[in-house]
Each structure stands twice: as C-alpha cells, then as structure tokens.
C-alpha cells in the first residue's frame, strides 16, 4: 500500500469497495462487518440460484472466494504502508455441503500481530498461517480454509543496527 492509499484506507471504505467488487458481488459474497481496528471481519455468502453447483449446494469456488483477500486486507489496514502483505498460498477442506447462506469470521489476535511484528522487525519475511471455518445457518462447519500470507517490512522502514524504525501502533 502506498501513502496515498493509506490515507483513505478505512474500514468503511474497504467494506464498501469489497461489497461492490464484481467477484464478490457476483458470487453473492457480502462483507457484513469490519472492526474499526481491522482486527475482525465478518463475511456472508448468500445461497442464490446462480451460485449453486450441480448438487444444489453452494459452489465451492464461491466458498473459497469469500476468504480470498480478507486477511491480506486486514493486515494492510493494521500494518499500513510500512509493509508488503500478499497472499502466498491457500487450501480448502470441504467438510459438508452448504445448503444455506454461509458465514465466516476472520480475527487477527494480539499474539499473532506481535509475532508478525517481531518476525519482520529487521526486514525478514514472515509467513503467518490463518485457519477460517465456514459455517452454515445452523452453525455447522461446512469448510475449513487455510491461508498463508507473505509479510515483509519495506526496506525504508527496516531497523538497522543502532537505528530504530518507525513503529506500528497495535
């Protein structure tokens, strides 16, 4: 994220942008909540006629897509312009068919954030992993998604011996 984007990168704008983003909008994915500190996001996938598979349950690609940019965007909001944040890899475990609307909650704990900051302080790469459970209307888990991110402090913000870099407020 560059400094110009960082100035306007606020939860309400990110939520609005994602909710009108064609891949989300077309799949029936909706961001329902983003906390003010970007530490928590809630997402819903509506069951519509156009996102059902041949078995009349939620299309697996839509289930996977509802998790795609979320952790990266959360960490971009927390770490701001001092860091590179990208998705690196992901996998999904389909547990049972989703015959209703689906929901997911994404949370970045204080412990995970502290670990990322420690790991990247001098410019090292960090590859945190996050697990997200997708729930149906009854609260049953229908899928589990694992995401690994790439995080690295940008060169101009890295700590050097005897020099302190600007800190990220947590």
- pLDDT over 50 at 162, yes or no: no
Q: What is the pLDDT of residues 3-25, one digit of tens each?
A: 777 777 899 999 999 999 999 99
Domain assignments of the chain as residue spans, ordered by start:
3-156
Q: Please check whether residue 45 is in contact with residue 28, taking contact to mean a CB–CB distance below 8 angstroms.
A: yes
Mean pLDDT for 125-140 is: 97
**Could you tell me whether strands 125-126 and 141-153 are parallel, antiparallel, or unpaired per DSSP bridges?**
antiparallel
Q: Which whole number is the average pLDDT over 161-170?
A: 52
Give residue 161's pLDDT: 44
Span 23-48, pLDDT tens digits: 999 999 999 999 999 999 999 999 99
Quote the pLDDT of residue 29.
Answer: 96
Q: Going by C-beta distance under 8 Å and a sequence separation of 6 or more, which residues neighbour residue 49?
A: none
What is the pLDDT confidence band of residue 143, given thresholds at 50, 70 and 90?
A: very high
Question: pTM surpassing 0.85?
Answer: yes
Q: What is d(CA 75, CA 82) in angstroms, rounded to the nearest whole number? A: 11
Is 70 exceeded by the pLDDT of residue 55? yes
What's the token pair of residue 137?
């209307």
CATH class of 3-156: alpha beta
User: pLDDT tens digit string along 77-122?
Assistant: 999 999 999 999 999 999 999 999 999 999 999 999 999 999 998 8
Whether 165 and 159 have beta carbons less than 8 Å apart is answered as yes
DSSP 150: E
| CB neighbours of residue 143 within 10 Å | 24
pLDDT recorded at residue 4: 73
């Amino acid at each position: 994220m560059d400094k110009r984007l960082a100035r306007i990168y606020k939860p309400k704008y990110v939520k609005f942008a994602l909710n009108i983003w064609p891949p989300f909008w077309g799949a029936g994915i909706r961001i329902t909540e983003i906390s003010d500190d970007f530490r928590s996001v809630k997402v819903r996938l509506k069951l519509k006629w156009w996102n059902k598979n041949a078995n009349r349950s939620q299309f697996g690609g839509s289930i996977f897509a509802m998790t795609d940019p979320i952790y990266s965007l959360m960490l971009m909001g927390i770490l701001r312009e001092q860091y590179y944040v990208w998705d690196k890899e992901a996998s999904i475990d389909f547990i049972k068919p989703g015959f209703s609307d689906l929901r997911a909650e994404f949370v970045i704990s204080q412990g995970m954030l502290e670990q990322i900051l420690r790991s990247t302080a001098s410019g090292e790469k960090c590859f945190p992993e996050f697990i997200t459970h997708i729930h149906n209307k009854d609260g049953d888990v229908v899928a589990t998604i694992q995401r690994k991110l790439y995080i690295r402090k940008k060169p101009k913000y890295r700590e050097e011996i005897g020099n302190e870099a600007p800190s990220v407020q947590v």
